[in-house]
A and B are shown apart, each in its own frame.
Chain A
Amino acid sequence: MASSLPPIEEHPFLRGLSPEQVKAIACDVREVSFPAGALLLREGDEARTLFLLRSGRVSLELNVPGQGPRQLETLKAGDILGLSWLFPPYRWHLDARAVEPVESFALDASCLRGPSPEHPVLEPALAMRLLRQLYERLERVRMQRMDLYKVGP
């Protein structure tokens, strides 16, 4: 259960920050849980949460007409989920489904980016960590796109 899981300042995404920085970032935070099969994000819905996953696994999915959902990547404890709250139109562009029961922190985006969504004021430490996550995800996507296991040049 959530209570036996590490507190928010020990989540890998925030680890190493000062208590003040953690407080500034996690200014509005809830502990949430999802049963296996539940959607954490639904494509098209308003994006207003940054999830810091604490346990379980989440599958990022894209629904392909005629083919059904394709799994794009698995996220797990220690990962973050949901970045569409950063930029207009603030809508999720993927589904995220709990593959197994999930415990997570849910950080409120309006608090994360400040009072004006058009001119977000991000804590610099948060901005750097988000950049790093995006960069690492970009590297993984590049690799996946290369279709490494296919035969021939």
Chain B
Amino acid sequence: MSTGALPTAGPMMPEPLRVRSLRRETADTFTVSLDVSERPGGFPFQPGQFNMLYAFGVGEVPISISGDPARPGELLHTVRTVGAVTEALRRVGRGGRMGVRGPYGRPWPLEEARGLDVVVVAGGLGLAPLRSAILHLLRHRTEYGRVSLLVGARSPEGLLYRRELARWQEDARLKVLVTVDQAGPEWKGHVGVVPALLRDVELEPSRTVALMCGPEVMMRFTVRELERQGVPDSRIHLSLERNMKCAVGFCGHCQLVPFFVCKDGPVLPYDRLRPFINPREV
């Protein structure tokens, strides 16, 4: 039995925060900045953690924090409108309020990765929870070995943070490779699947840590390619998505056999995940 203190009503109560700005990223994705100026110390979090965002009267959903962990005065989330709650969050608009509780979950293992090469692999919206990790890596660049970022999307129009991505591509401290599944003749970048990009990364398997978020099938194929190249499973970290309700390990909604994704994850190493997500859940 757990000896830890039980969460009280406190952690379950969303805090209403005002929408400072809303920026469109792609046709169905926007980044919302929430006003935390009245909170002493702002909203500290660790890269990879998420909040529960509440659209009043509609419902609550888990959304990763996509901002810079070194700037807790700015709370950012990048949201894709896929259904009732995310659509209601978009409609809140500038000046309106949404409920927030968090931060929750196990973050990216950036301490453990210190001194090692880091390969960051993002598919589609998966770049959102990895953005905070990339900003951390850039801020503490000298503490890490080679840092590579591989990004995949359905089409050039589906790429998140396009301007920032272009800046990162110019940044000599990072190797950035971008690919899309389909493109017209105007696209001068790579066309193909994300795992194929790994061939262009100089990997020293024994000193490589991989951080990955995206559609699970993409992650499985990428894991296989990393394994083929000799990266140990314990150094491959995946961020998982499961339906959530409480986000604090109570309700079991997010259960993946032995794990509560909200509490034990969302970031988990592949050696622990392997029996449960590969090839199919039981």
Contact = CB atoms under 8 A, between A and B. Distances in A.
B109 interface: no
Contacts of B188: 99
Interface in A92-116: 99
A78 interface: yes
B266 interface: no
B190 A144 contact: no
Nearest to B190: A74
B183 interface: yes
A90 to B, nearest CB: 26
A151 B154 CA distance: 11
8 contacts: A71-B184, A72-B182, A73-B192, A74-B190, A148-B123, A149-B124, A149-B154, A149-B215
Closest 4 pairs (CB-CB, A-B): A149-B124, A149-B154, A148-B215, A71-B191
B193 to A, nearest CB: 5
B276 interface: no
A150 interface: yes
A70 B158 CA distance: 16
A66 to B, nearest CB: 13
B204 interface: no
B184 A70 contact: yes
A78 B124 CA distance: 27
Contacts, number: 70
Contact of A71 (B187, B214, B215): B187
Given A59-B191, A144-B192, A71 B182 contact: yes
Contact of B181 (A59, A99, A139, A144): A144
Contacts of B123: 148-149
B1 interface: no
B185 interface: yes
> Chain A: interface residue count, which band?
20 to 34
Interface of B: 28, 80, 82, 123-125, 152-154, 158, 179, 181-185, 187-193, 195-196, 199-200, 214-215, 217-218, 221
A151 B28 contact: yes
Given A74-B191, A144-B193, A151-B82, A69 B185 contact: yes
Given A72-B191, A140-B196, A146-B217, A151 B182 contact: no
Contacts of A150: 154
Contacts of B196: 140
Given A57-B190, A140-B196, A149-B215, 11 more contacts: A68-B185, A71-B191, A99-B188, A140-B192, A143-B193, A143-B195, A144-B192, A148-B215, A148-B217, A149-B123, A151-B80
A148 B218 contact: yes
A41 to B, nearest CB: 16
